[in-house]
Amino acid sequence: MRKSLFRILSVGPIPNHIAFILDGNRRYAKKRNLNEGMGYRAGFLSLMTLCKYCCELGVKYVTIYAFSIDNFKRKPHEVDAVMDLMLEKIQGMLKEESIVSQYGVRVYFIGNLELLNEHVRQAAVKAMEATSNNDKIVLLICVAYTSTDEIVHAARESCEAKRARVRSSGAREGNEEELKVVDIERHMYMGVAPDPDILVRTSGETRLSNFLLWQTSNCVLYSPRALWPEIGLRHLVWAVLNYQRVFPLLERRRKQM
């Protein structure tokens, strides 16, 4: 049934890139009287299912907000639990029978990776290398990420790059061109993907929480009430339908920018 549903959707434009804020794992665990760790695990299962759907639908990029720099403020045991789970799942990605391998998912870890502990960071780097030849769909996992941190990083790099250009060309510093929007964009961590077409935040919250602020300027925002582990096919379909409705206007805007 899913195949025919996706075929119908494919009559209209399919979003190239969907971003998700995975909100509600802890609330889900509470609701089901589970411990928090189980909430995150349920969340991970939802993520894999959603990736599968996106892949089948023809979406080329999926970005998720897995762990914000703000989340480091949580209680240490909570942070550790998430980090342990992440390590486990990243290592799992490297196995042949993982969804990542089966579905040809190329994985990127986006964020200030220096803030992660050594094990997680190394595993992440390994996973990026191991999947670099996969080409069916790209999964961008934002960890130790905030948009403002990303912009600061891009600002530093573009300033540095400009100075290097000036130095190497031997030109007098007063002659340099001023920084433009594209210069900042070029140095964003998220520069490996086009801007998202849809941003979905589960559990009914309508805030961006410092996620992809720069990139979601003309993105359709969708906030279903479902908690992240409860997200299903119908939410994806609804998001795509909404996207298709405003597509002509968004295309015009995009060409302007």
Partner 1 sequence: MGSSIIKSSCGTGGAYEELPEGLEKELMPKHVAVIMDGNRRWAKSRGLPVQLGHIAGRRAMKQLTRNCKKFGVQVLTVFAFSTENWIRPKEEVNFLMNLFEEVIRSDMEELIQNDVRVSVVGNVGGLRPSLQSLISSSSERSKDNKGMDMVTALNYSGRHDITEATKQIARKVKDGVLGSVEDIDETLIEKHLQTNVIEESSYRNPDLLIRTSGELRLSNFMLWQSAYTELIFVDKLFPDFNEGDLVEALTLFQKRQRRYGGHKY
Which one among 155, 226, 233, 237 touches partner 1, defined by CB under 8 A?
A: 155
Which one among 148, 232, 234, 251 touches partner 1, defined by CB under 8 A?
A: 148
Q: Which residues pair with 221 in a beta bridge?
A: 199
Distance (Å, whole) CA 144 – CA 149: 9
- How far is CA 84 from each of CA 39, 201, 202, 238, rounded to the nearest angstrom? 14, 24, 23, 34
Name which of 204, 206, 203, 205 is nearest 227 in CA terms: 203
The one catalytic residue in 23, 70, 183, 197 is 23
Q: How far is the CB of 116 from partner 1 (least distance, A)?
A: 19
Give the DSSP letter string of 140-178.
Answer: EEEEEE-HHHHHHHHHHHHHHHHHHHHHHHT--GGGPPP
Count of residues of this chain found to bind partner 1 when the rule CB under 8 A is applied:
42
Q: Provide the mask over 212-241, with x wherever binding to partner 1 is found by CB under 8 A and - wherever it is not.
A: -xx-xxxxxxx-------------------
* Site membership for partner 1, residue 114 (CB under 8 A): no
What does the angle CA 218 – CA 219 – CA 222 come to, to the nearest 5 degrees?
140
* Residue carrying the six token digits 């959603």: 50
Give the DSSP letter string of 201-232.
Answer: E-TT----TTSSTTTTTTPEEE--SS-GGG--
Active site residue 197: no
Comparing CB distances to partner 1, the nearer of 66 and 139 is 66
Which one among 156, 186, 225, 234 touches partner 1, defined by CB under 8 A?
A: 156
* Site membership for partner 1, residue 246 (CB under 8 A): yes
Distance (Å, whole) CA 100 – CA 138: 10
Q: How far is the CB of 172 from partner 1 (least distance, A)?
A: 11
Which one among 26, 52, 60, 162 touches partner 1, defined by CB under 8 A?
A: 162
Q: Which residues pair with 17 in a beta bridge?
A: 61
The interface region with partner 1, picked from 40-48, 108-116, 159-167, 188-196 by CB under 8 A, is: 159-167
Q: Which residues are catalytic?
A: 23
Residues that bind partner 1 (CB under 8 A): 68, 70-71, 146-149, 151-152, 155-156, 158-160, 162-163, 173, 178-181, 183-184, 206-210, 213-214, 216-222, 242, 246, 253, 256-257
